[in-house]
Every structure is written in structure tokens, then in C-alpha cells.
């Protein structure tokens, strides 16, 4: 019966050992490092108790033992050697598992990064009619958040990896690279993009980005941010279709707040997005292009359902050749490709969107 007892003990020991190994391998790198520190502390205390002459000797013996260096036996006693046998088995096991856990964590992190980058590149290649935002600084982030609220694809480009991570945390597609280089713009899918927004830290970088974008896509609409008022003309000459100057906009807004406060309030509502904008008074401002299949083509405004059925007012009608007609009259006939700048309730605007799309 002795062999059965020994077999049972061996099986129980294997089960305990397996449980310990499973627990160790499931630990995080931080906890594994803590385990190594704990093993060294345990060894130091053990050698001190079994005969080490000083705390430093005990610590020295613990470190050279767990590292398998083994310069010599600092505690040449029977108790010390028995403790060393136990400590070597335990220490080497924990130390080896710690190294393997750290290595696997690093490899897993690298693999996750590579897989994530390839997935992002695949998603960008599949995008059509999206926007590219160059620069995710203070102005760029606000712009990106505004675009994210719309049903429009967006790709962010920034040279700062921390900002790329911020965009990624906001569930935005982001490319880490220099937006003044053609290769980076191609990675962002400029060939299929609807427009390019340049909000880079300096006006010179915006100029370079615009010039390179024009090389790749001569027809792409470009909106650029002017950090300096004197740079507006340079950005336009470089190829920007529109230039936004925070200084000019801010100055005009400040003057309007004093001279025409009620008008300023209306502009504030129109400019604000979400619940803080026109939505709080039950209307929205939007634009729609008259598509090729729209029943509005060739119809005068007085005969259309825009005002009568949708309760939507047209602020302006922009013809396909770019001519703008504000406060259009009832006899204006809508053309294919015309853009209708409209204000009205959300439901009415949805109806107008559907009719324009055909």
C-alpha cells in the first residue's frame, strides 16, 4: 500500500505545483516584479536566520543565489545548505517566470500595436469622401470633435505620437507622420478624400502641406488656419481655397457683441454645435446639393414642397457655377447641382435631404 500512498502524494504535489505555476503565469509584469522582490527579501531573511554574519551578507547570498551566479557559500552550515536548496528551486522558478512574463508582455504589446496599425491602414484605404485633418493641436482637436459629430469620415495626421494616441482614444483614425510630406498624405487616403484641413502649428508648415497636397490632388478643396494675419495671402497663393483667421473672426465677433448684441446671439446659436446651438430653439442650419435624380430639378421655389410641406426656409441658393443668391425669390428655378442653404426643423431638413438626393 506504500506505493499507492506515494503515488497519491505525487499526484497531489503535482496538482499543487501546477496551481502555483498557473497562478504565477497569470500575473501581470508589475506583480511578477513584486514577486522577485519578495523572493529576494525572503532569501535575505532566511540566510540571516540560518547563520549569515550580517544583513549585507544575507542579502548578498540571496541575490547571487537567485541569479544563479553562485560566487561561494557564505553560510557553510547544514541549515544554510538545506535552505539554499529550497531557495534555489523557488527563486530560479519565480525569476524565470518573471522574465518570460515580461518578455511575453513586450512581445504581445508590439504585436497588438502592429495589428492595430494594419487594421487602421486597412480602414483608411476603404474610406471614400472623407476629410483629412493635418495637426491635432488645440485648434485641430476642436475641429476634429466638431466633425466627429457629423456622419463624415475623418483621418487625423500629427507628428506627435502622444497626440496620435489622443485621437486614437477618441476613436478617430490617426496617422503618425509629417503632414508636409506626400507619403504621409497618401497614407491618410488623400486620393479619395473630400477635403483637406490644415491646422498645423506654424503657417510655414501649412504652406508646405498645401503645396504637397496640390501635387497629389490638384482638385482637392483645402481649408487652412492662419496663425498670423500676414500669412493669409501666402496660404491662398499656395493653393488654399479658404483661409480661417482666428484673429479676424474674434475681432469681428467682439465688435458685434457690443454693436449688435441680438445679431451676435443669433450668430452664436448658428455657429454652436449640438444642444448648445440652434437645436435648442427647434431649428437647424444645413446645406444640401440637388442630385441628378431629384424631383426638384426645373421646379420653381413657389411650386416646390420646401416651404409648403417641409416648413424649411432657404437662406441662399448657390448655382453650379458658384453664383450665390441670398433670400431667393419664389420664381427661382432649381438646377441640378445647386446647393440649398436651408434653415428649419430637423424633420423638415431630413425630408429636404431625401428629396434633394432623389
121 belongs to a structural domain: no
CATH number, domain with residue 82: 1.10.287.70
Q: Which domain holds residue 292?
A: 261-357
- The whole-angstrom separation of Cα 156 and Cα 152 is 13
- Asked whether residue 351 is domain-assigned, the answer is yes
Whether 135 has a pLDDT exceeding 90, the answer reads yes
pLDDT bucket at 38, cuts 50 / 70 / 90: confident
Q: Look at residues 333, 303, 351 and name the one whose alpha carbon lies nearest to residue 342.
A: 351
Got the DSSP string for 122-157? HHHHH--SEEEEE--SHHHHHHHHHHHTSS--EEEE
pLDDT at 104: 63
The confidence band for 16, taking pLDDT boundaries of 50, 70 and 90, is very low
Tell me how long the chain is: 358
Q: Kindly tell me if the per-residue pLDDT of 118 is higher than 80.
A: no
- For residues 188 and 301, membership in a common domain is answered with no
Task: Name the pLDDT band for 152 (thresholds 50, 70, 90).
Answer: confident
Mark whether 132 and 245 lie in a shared domain: yes
* pLDDT confidence band for 4 (50 / 70 / 90): very low
- Same-domain check for residues 212 and 266: no
Q: Is residue 302 part of a domain?
A: yes
Single pTM value for the model: 0.59
Q: What is the CATH number of the domain that holds 169?
A: 3.40.50.720
pLDDT band at 13 (very low <50, low <70, confident <90, very high): very low
Region 235-244: mean pLDDT is 94
CATH no. for residue 274?
Answer: 3.30.70.1450
Q: Domain count for the chain, please give it.
A: 3
10 pLDDT band (50/70/90 cuts)?
Answer: very low
Same-domain pairing of 193 and 243: yes
pLDDT given for residue 277 in this prediction: 63
Cell 493653393 sits on residue: 239
**Is it the case that residue 141 has pLDDT exceeding 50?**
yes
Helices then strands, counting H and E runs in the chain, come out as 13, 10
* 80 has pLDDT over 80: no
Confidence of residue 184 (pLDDT cuts 50, 70, 90): very high
State the Cα angle at 297 between 358 and 300, rounded to 5°. 125
A 10 A CB-CB count for 228 gives 12
Phi then psi dihedrals of residue 219, to 5 deg: -100, 0
Amino acid at each position: 500500500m506504500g506505493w499507492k500512498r506515494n503515488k497519491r502524494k505525487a499526484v497531489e504535489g503535482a496538482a499543487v505545483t501546477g496551481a502555483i505555476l498557473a497562478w504565477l503565469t497569470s500575473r501581470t509584469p508589475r506583480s511578477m516584479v513584486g514577486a522577485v522582490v519578495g523572493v529576494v527579501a525572503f532569501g535575505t531573511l532566511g540566510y540571516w536566520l540560518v547563520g549569515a554574519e550580517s544583513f549585507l551578507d544575507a542579502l548578498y547570498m540571496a541575490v547571487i543565489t537567485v541569479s544563479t551566479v553562485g560566487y561561494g557559500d557564505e553560510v557553510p552550515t547544514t541549515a544554510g545548505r538545506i535552505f539554499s536548496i529550497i531557495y534555489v528551486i523557488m527563486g530560479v522558478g519565480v525569476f524565470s517566470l518573471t522574465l518570460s512574463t515580461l518578455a511575453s508582455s513586450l512581445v504581445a504589446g508590439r504585436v497588438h500595436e502592429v495589428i492595430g496599425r494594419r487594421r487602421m491602414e486597412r480602414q483608411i484605404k476603404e474610406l471614400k469622401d472623407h476629410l483629412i485633418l493635418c495637426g491635432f493641436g488645440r485648434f485641430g482637436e476642436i475641429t476634429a470633435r466638431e466633425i466627429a459629430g457629423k456622419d463624415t469620415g475623418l483621418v487625423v495626421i500629427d507628428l506627435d505620437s502622444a497626440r496620435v494616441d489622443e485621437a486614437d482614444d477618441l476613436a478617430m483614425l490617426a496617422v503618425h507622420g509629417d503632414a508636409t510630406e506626400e507619403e504621409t498624405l497618401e497614407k491618410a487616403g488623400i486620393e479619395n478624400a473630400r477635403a483637406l484641413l490644415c491646422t498645423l502649428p506654424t503657417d510655414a508648415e501649412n504652406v508646405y502641406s498645401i503645396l504637397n497636397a496640390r501635387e497629389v490632388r490638384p482638385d482637392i478643396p483645402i481649408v487652412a488656419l492662419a496663425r498670423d494675419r500676414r500669412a493669409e495671402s501666402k496660404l491662398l497663393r499656395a493653393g488654399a481655397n479658404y483661409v480661417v483667421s482666428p484673429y479676424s473672426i474674434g475681432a469681428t465677433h467682439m465688435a458685434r457683441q457690443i454693436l449688435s448684441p441680438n445679431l451676435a446671439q443669433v450668430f452664436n446659436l448658428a455657429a454652436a454645435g449640438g444642444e448648445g446651438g440652434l437645436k435648442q430653439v427647434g431649428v437647424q442650419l444645413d446645406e444640401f446639393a440637388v442630385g441628378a435624380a431629384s424631383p426638384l430639378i426645373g421646379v420653381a421655389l413657389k411650386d416646390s414642397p420646401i416651404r409648403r410641406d417641409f416648413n424649411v426656409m432657404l437662406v441662399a441658393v448657390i448655382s453650379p457655377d458658384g453664383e450665390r443668391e441670398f433670400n431667393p425669390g419664389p420664381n427661382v428655378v432649381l438646377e441640378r447641382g445647386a446647393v440649398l442653404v436651408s434653415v428649419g426643423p430637423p424633420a423638415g431638413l431630413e425630408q429636404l435631404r431625401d428629396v434633394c438626393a432623389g
